Amino acid sequence: MKCRQQSSGPSPRLSSLSSGAGLQLLSRPDCPLCEEFAEELARFGVEVPLPALTWVDVDSDPQLARRYGPDIPVLLLDGVKVCQHHLDRDELRRLLRPR
């Protein structure tokens, strides 16, 4: 389930978020799927230490609005897409492992 339509294409680092370290949750107000995603992320954070989370209104930035529009929520780690619509626990755990 999505908030509206799906976009396609690769997931480049987004210039508007590239300076933000940690997790960014792209969402918008009154998005039930975004709220469910955030709740699942909070439960996951009990099991695995997570970097700081910043909520980003996708409509606050024209580049984000064009790229993701209604196709949210999207979780980014250091500006790179981790997962979309539903939390991918395995992928996030893999990306958070010390290298």
Q: pLDDT tens digits, residue range 47-94?
A: 999 999 999 999 999 999 999 988 999 999 999 999 999 999 999 999
Per-chain mean pLDDT for the chain: 83
Token pair for residue 97? 């492992």
Burial of 68 (0-12, 13-18, 19+ CB in 10 A): buried
Helix (H) or strand (E) holding 3: none
Domains of the chain by residue range: 29-96
The mean pLDDT value for 95-99 works out to 88
Residue 33 above 80 pLDDT? Answer: yes
- Specify the residue for token string 């009990």: 46
- Check residue 71 and report its DSSP letter: S
Q: What pLDDT was estimated at residue 99?
A: 77
The mean pLDDT value for 4-19 works out to 38
Arch. (CATH architecture) of 29-96: 3-Layer(aba) Sandwich (3.40)
Residue 14 above 60 pLDDT? Answer: no
Residue 92 DSSP SS3? helix
Helix (H) or strand (E) holding 83: strand 80-84
